[in-house]
Amino acid sequence: MDSTTFAAKVEGLAPGEGRLLGVVPMEGTRTALVVVGHLVDLDTGSGASPLPGFSAPIPGLPSPAQDDGLVVDPVARSVRADGRVIPLTYQEFELLTHLTASPGRVHSRGQLLRAVWGHTDAGSLRTVDVHIHRLRSKLGGYRERIVTVRRLGYMYTKR
């Protein structure tokens, strides 16, 4: 049985109705493999072909934030600006994802420390500023989307 037939049998799909993303061994069970996922066009039910490196929309998972050429995909953990992949560190990605999740909302440094780093140590407030600076430098022409709100913090704007 090939992987496409296996995926269809496990998921209850007709062969060719989905796309196998991968399989993993199931330790401690009698099942040798399990389907990790498949891409299905939610409108037609047929196999979908998303952009390379990006996830198809899956109910219950966050969808990519798109803003005039800047795409932040929390599922694929990738960022693209005008189709170009922007390599970010883990913390830079988390920071950008947090800011883009609520455009127009001002986030204090303390709020960002709690949300992205998981702590509120006042001695590390400068960490936020350093990461914002690095993130802006990587975003190039989209750098102005991250606005400093004097004496308050930072916000993401859709300009």
Kindly indicate whether the domain formed by 65-156 is annotated with CATH number 3.40.30.10. no
Report the interhelical angle of 90-101 vs 125-139 (nearest 10°).
90
Cα dist from 44 to 17, 18, 39, whole Å = 10, 11, 12
Q: Give the start-to-end residue ranges of the domains of the chain.
A: 3-38, 65-156
Residue-by-residue pLDDT tens, the chain, 159 positions: 554 555 445 555 555 555 444 445 555 655 544 444 444 444 444 444 444 444 444 455 555 666 678 999 988 899 999 989 999 999 999 999 999 999 999 999 999 999 999 887 767 888 999 999 999 999 999 999 999 999 999 999 987
Residue with tokens 């509120």: 120
Using a 10 angstrom Cβ sphere, with 0-12 exposed, 13-18 middle and 19 or more buried, the burial of residue 99 is buried
> Cα angle vertex 136, ends 74, 126, to 5°?
95
pTM of the model: 0.60
